[in-house]
C-alpha cells in the first residue's frame, strides 16, 4: 500500500513524515524545503506501508521544478491514497489545492495540521462539516507533537482504495465550457472532467497525454476564447479564481472566529522585520551565533587534541614514524585527532545553531530582509534561498537552483552559491582564524565573503542585464522547535560528516603519511610552490593540503597539521599566513561533490568557467590579504 503526502509549502508535511518514518526528510520552518520526493516504509495493521513525501506545491499545474516533481509523481505512479496536508491556520488558502486534488476523484483524506496555531489565532474549524462538504474524511493533527498522527494514518488506511465522488462545481458558464470539452475527450487521465479542466487551464502536459477527437484544437481554442472574452482574463486564471472563491466560501462556512491569543509572531516581527531595527538585530543575531560556535568549539578542540597528542606520543615509542607501519599508525591517529578534535567541536554547534534558526522561522525573515540587497546586485529574489542553504552545504544549494525561473538566474545563483562558506569551510575558518586570531576576525571573513558575492553578482549582472523579479516568500509563524526534532535534524545533517567525511579524513591522513614516508610530498610541494610561496607567501609544505581540499574542504585544515608536523600552527605560521591560507581555502575551487552538482545542473563548460573563476578570485583575495596583513599584524 502506498500513501502520498501532498500539500502546500510549509504546511508540515515533512514533520508528519518524520513522525511516521523517522528522520529522513529535512523538515524546516522554511517554505519549499523538499525539492525531490522522499520515501520510507512503516508497518500499520501488520502491513508494510510506503509513504512518500512530495515537494510542497500550490497547484498541480506546475510553475517550478518542485511542483513538476509533485505533478509527475501523481500522474505517473500508482498510489492508494492521497493524504492532503493543510496548515489549519491558513485553511482558506490551503483548500485551493485540496479542491484541485478532489477533481482527480482519487482516494483522499484531508489533514488539518498545526491546529494549535489556528486556535491561537482564534480560528475554530468544524471538521465534521468540512468533511460533509468535501465528501472526504478530515483529521486534525499537531504534527510536531505527534498529536492526531496515528488517527490520520488509521483513517488513510481505511479510506485507501475507495474512490471519491466530487460534487463541488464551478459557476454555470465555466461548467458549461468544461462539459463542451469533455465531449471531445476519448482517452483521459483520472476522469473526463479533470482532464477537461486541465485542458481549459492550457496544461500542455495533459494535452500530450490524452487522446482527443478530430478538430479538438479548434474547438478548444473557440471555447477558451469565448470564456476569456466573457471574464476578461486568461482561462487558466478563470479556473484558479473559481477554486479561490470556492475555498473562501467553504472556509467561511466551517470556521468560527474568537479573540486570538497574544500573537507572539506579530510582536516579534514588529522588531525583527522593522525596516531599520530588523537589520540591526539580524547583525546582532549573526554575530552572537558565530561567537557562540567559536566559544564552544575552542575549549573542546584544545581538550580533545591534547588527548590525541598524548596517544600519539605514547604509540610512537612502540611504532616509530620512521617505520612504514609507524607512519600508517601516525596517520590514523592524526586523522582521528583532526576529525574528532578539530572538525567536530565547530561543526556540531554550527549545525545545531543553523537548525534552530531554521526551525524557529528566522531564516525566511533573513531572506526577506536581504531581498532588497539581492536586487541591488541584480539577482532574483529567489536566489537568497539557495544562498542561505549553501551555509549548510553547497551541493543542495546548487540543486535547489532548479526552481529558478530561467537559465540566466539559475547560472548566476549557482555561480555565487559556490562562494558561500559551507559547514566544511566553516570548520577551516573557526579552526584556524577563529582559534588563532579570534572570533571577530573569523566573522570578518564572512563579511568579506558577502562583499565578494555582491561584487561578483554585479559583474554577472553587467554581463547579463536581464531584470530580476521580486521575491514572493511565505513568512511562517515562529515555532519553538522540540528537543527531539532539533536533535534529529542535527544528526541528519551531521551523519554526512560522520559516515562520509570522517572516513575520508582518516584515509587521506594515512595517504599523506605514506606520501611523506616515500618522500613524495616535497615533489608535490615544489610543483605548487609558484602559488603557495611566490604568490601567497605560505610555507612550501602546505601545497599538498590544497590537493586534499578539493575532495573535502575541511581536509585542508586537517592535513595542515600533519603537513607541518605540529598542531601548534601558530609556532610555524604567522598570523598573516594563517589568514591568507584560510581565505584561499574559502574561495578557491569547490569540492568534488559541488563540482559534480554544477556539472549536472549547468553542464561541463559552465562548471569549468566557475571553477577557474573561483581560483582567480581566491588568488586575488589571498594575495591582497598578504599585503594588508604585513601592515596590520
- The Cβ-side half-sphere exposure at 570, using a 13 Å CA radius, reads 9
| Distance separating alpha carbons of residues 364 and 382, to the nearest angstrom | 11
Decide: residue 615, CB within 10 A, 0-12 exposed, 13-18 middle, 19+ buried: middle
User: Comparing C-alpha atoms, which of 348, 345, 339, 393 is closest to residue 558?
Assistant: 339
Structural contact between residues 137 and 111, judged by C-beta atoms closer than 8 angstroms: no
| Distance separating alpha carbons of residues 175 and 188, to the nearest angstrom | 18
Low-confidence ranges of the chain (pLDDT < 50): 23-34
Query: What is the model's pLDDT at position 248?
Result: 94
| Distance separating alpha carbons of residues 602 and 123, to the nearest angstrom | 46
Tell me how far CA of residue 273 lies from CA of 152, 420, 617, in angstroms: 36, 24, 34
| Distance separating alpha carbons of residues 83 and 54, to the nearest angstrom | 11
In the chain, CATH 3.40.50.300 covers 2-159
| Distance separating alpha carbons of residues 521 and 517, to the nearest angstrom | 9
User: Comparing C-alpha atoms, which of 430, 429, 462, 416 is closest to residue 614?
Assistant: 416
Q: Kindly report, residue by residue over 209-255, the tens digit of the pLDDT.
A: 777 777 767 888 888 888 888 888 988 899 999 999 999 999 999 99
Angle at 486 between CA 335 and CA 355, to 5 degrees: 75
Query: What is the model's pLDDT at position 307?
Result: 87
| Distance separating alpha carbons of residues 212 and 572, to the nearest angstrom | 77
Decide: residue 507, CB within 10 A, 0-12 exposed, 13-18 middle, 19+ buried: middle
Q: What is the DSSP letter of 468?
A: P
Tell me how far CA of residue 285 lies from CA of 29, 124, 168, 431, 608, in angstroms: 18, 36, 49, 21, 36
Structural contact between residues 84 and 141, judged by C-beta atoms closer than 8 angstroms: no
User: Comparing C-alpha atoms, which of 399, 418, 509 is closest to residue 456?
Assistant: 418
Query: Helix/strand/coil (H, E, C) string of 556-610?
Result: HHHHHHHHHCCCCHHHCCCHHHHHHHHHHHHHCCCCHHHHHHHHHHHCHHHHHHH
Structural contact between residues 548 and 512, judged by C-beta atoms closer than 8 angstroms: yes
Residue 24: what are its φ and ψ, rounded to 5°? -125, -10
Helix (H) or strand (E) holding 87: strand 81-87
Q: Is the pTM of this model over 0.75?
A: no
User: Coil, helix or strand for 190?
Assistant: coil
State the cell numbers at 205. 502536459
User: Coil, helix or strand for 444?
Assistant: helix
| Distance separating alpha carbons of residues 96 and 91, to the nearest angstrom | 9
| Distance separating alpha carbons of residues 163 and 165, to the nearest angstrom | 7
Q: How many CB atoms lie within 10 A of CB 460?
A: 19
Q: What is the DSSP letter of 534?
A: I
| Distance separating alpha carbons of residues 334 and 559, to the nearest angstrom | 8
Asked: is 2-159 a CATH 3.40.50.1010 domain? The reply is no
User: Comparing C-alpha atoms, which of 169, 170, 239 is closest to residue 200?
Assistant: 239
Helices (H), 400-438: 407-417, 423-428, 435-437
Sign of the dihedral through C-alpha 206, 207, 213, 216? positive
Q: How many CB atoms lie within 10 A of CB 432?
A: 24
| Distance separating alpha carbons of residues 480 and 499, to the nearest angstrom | 29
Query: What is the model's pLDDT at position 34?
Result: 47
| Distance separating alpha carbons of residues 555 and 508, to the nearest angstrom | 8
Helix (H) or strand (E) holding 250: helix 235-254
Query: What is the model's pLDDT at position 405?
Result: 62
Helix (H) or strand (E) holding 53: strand 47-53
State the cell numbers at 96. 485551493
Beta strands in 188-244 (DSSP E): 211-212
How do strand 123-125 and strand 108-113 relate by DSSP bridges? unpaired
Angle at 4 between CA 3 and CA 7, to 5 degrees: 145
In the chain, CATH 1.10.287.1770 covers 172-257
Topology given in CATH for the domain delimited by 172-257: Helix Hairpins (1.10.287)
| Radius of gyration for the chain, computed over Cα atoms and rounded to the nearest angstrom | 28
Helices (H), 164-203: 172-182, 192-200
Amino acid at each position: 500500500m502506498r500513501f502520498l503526502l501532498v500539500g502546500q509549502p510549509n504546511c508540515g508535511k515533512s514533520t508528519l513524515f518524520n513522525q511516521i518514518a523517522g528522520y529522513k526528510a529535512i523538515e524546516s520552518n522554511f517554505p519549499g524545503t523538499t525539492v525531490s520526493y522522499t520515501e520510507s516504509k512503516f508497518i500499520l495493521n501488520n502491513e508494510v506501508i510506503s509513504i512518500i513525501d512530495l515537494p510542497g506545491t500550490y497547484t498541480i499545474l506546475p510553475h517550478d521544478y518542485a511542483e513538476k516533481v509533485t505533478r509527475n509523481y501523481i500522474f505517473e505512479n500508482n498510489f492508494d491514497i492521497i493524504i492532503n496536508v493543510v496548515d489549519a491556520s491558513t485553511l482558506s488558502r490551503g483548500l485551493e489545492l485540496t479542491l484541485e486534488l478532489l477533481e482527480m476523484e482519487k482516494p483522499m483524506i484531508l489533514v488539518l495540521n498545526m491546529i494549535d496555531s489556528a486556535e491561537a489565532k482564534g480560528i475554530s474549524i468544524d471538521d465534521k462539516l468540512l468533511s460533509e462538504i468535501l465528501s472526504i474524511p478530515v483529521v486534525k493533527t499537531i504534527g510536531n507533537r505527534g498529536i492526531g498522527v496515528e488517527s490520520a494514518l488509521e483513517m488513510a488506511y481505511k479510506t485507501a482504495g475507495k474512490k471519491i465522488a466530487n460534487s463541488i462545481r464551478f459557476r454555470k458558464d465555466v461548467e458549461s465550457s468544461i462539459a463542451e470539452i469533455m465531449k471531445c475527450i476519448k482517452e483521459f487521465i483520472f476522469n473526463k472532467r479533470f482532464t477537461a479542466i486541465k485542458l481549459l487551464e492550457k496544461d500542455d502536459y495533459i494535452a500530450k497525454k490524452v487522446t482527443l477527437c478530430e478538430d479538438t484544437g479548434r474547438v478548444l481554442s473557440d471555447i477558451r476564447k469565448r470564456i476569456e472574452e466573457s471574464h476578461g482574463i486568461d482561462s487558466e486564471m478563470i479556473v484558479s479564481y473559481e477554486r479561490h472563491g470556492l475555498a473562501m466560501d467553504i472556509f467561511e462556512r466551517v470556521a468560527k472566529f474568537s479573540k486570538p491569543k497574544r500573537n507572539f509572531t506579530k510582536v516579534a516581527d514588529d522588531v525583527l522585520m522593522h525596516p531599520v531595527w530588523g537589520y540591526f538585530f539580524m547583525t546582532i543575531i549573526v554575530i552572537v551565533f558565530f561567537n557562540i560556535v567559536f566559544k564552544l568549539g575552542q575549549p573542546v578542540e584544545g581538550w580533545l587534541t591534547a588527548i590525541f597528542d598524548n596517544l600519539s606520543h605514547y604509540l610512537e615509542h612502540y611504532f616509530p614514524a620512521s617505520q612504514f607501519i609507524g607512519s600508517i599508525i601516525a596517520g590514523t591517529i592524526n586523522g582521528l585527532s583532526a576529525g574528532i578534535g578539530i572538525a567536530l567541536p565547530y561543526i556540531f554547534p554550527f549545525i545545531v545553531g543553523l537548525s534552530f534558526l531554521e526551525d524557529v522561522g528566522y531564516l525566511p525573515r533573513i531572506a526577506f530582509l536581504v531581498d532588497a540587497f539581492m536586487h541591488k546586485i541584480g539577482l532574483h529574489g529567489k536566489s537568497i534561498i539557495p544562498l542561505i542553504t549553501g551555509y549548510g552545504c553547497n551541493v543542495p544549494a546548487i540543486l535547489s537552483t532548479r526552481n529558478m525561473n530561467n537559465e540566466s538566474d539559475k547560472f548566476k545563483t549557482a555561480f555565487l552559491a559556490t562562494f558561500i562558506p559551507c559547514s566544511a569551510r566553516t570548520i577551516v575558518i573557526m579552526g584556524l582564524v577563529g582559534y588563532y586570531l579570534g572570533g571577530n576576525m573569523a566573522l570578518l571573513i564572512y563579511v568579506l565573503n558577502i562583499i565578494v558575492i555582491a561584487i561578483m553578482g554585479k559583474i554577472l549582472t553587467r554581463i547579463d542585464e536581464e531584470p530580476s523579479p521580486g521575491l514572493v516568500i511565505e513568512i511562517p509563524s515562529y515555532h519553538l522547535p522540540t528537543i527531539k526534532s532539533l536533535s534529529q535534524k542535527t544528526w541528519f545533517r551531521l551523519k554526512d560528516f560522520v559516515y562520509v567525511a570522517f572516513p575520508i579524513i582518516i584515509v587521506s591522513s594515512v595517504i599523506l603519511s605514506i606520501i611523506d614516508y616515500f618522500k613524495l610530498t616535497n615533489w608535490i610541494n615544489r610543483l605548487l610552490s609558484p602559488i603557495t610561496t611566490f604568490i601567497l607567501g605560505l610555507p612550501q609544505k602546505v601545497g599538498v593540503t590544497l590537493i586534499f581540499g578539493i575532495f573535502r574542504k575541511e581536509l585542508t585544515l586537517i592535513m595542515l597539521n600533519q603537513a607541518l608536523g605540529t598542531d601548534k600552527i601558530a609556532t610555524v605560521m604567522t598570523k598573516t599566513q594563517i589568514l591568507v591560507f584560510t581565505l584561499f581555502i574559502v574561495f578557491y575551487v569547490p569540492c568534488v561533490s559541488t563540482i559534480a552538482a554544477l556539472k549536472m545542473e549547468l553542464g561541463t563548460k559552465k562548471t569549468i568557467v566557475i571553477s577557474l573563476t573561483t581560483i582567480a578570485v581566491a588568488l586575488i583575495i589571498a594575495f591582497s590579504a598578504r599585503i594588508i596583513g604585513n601592515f596590520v599584524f
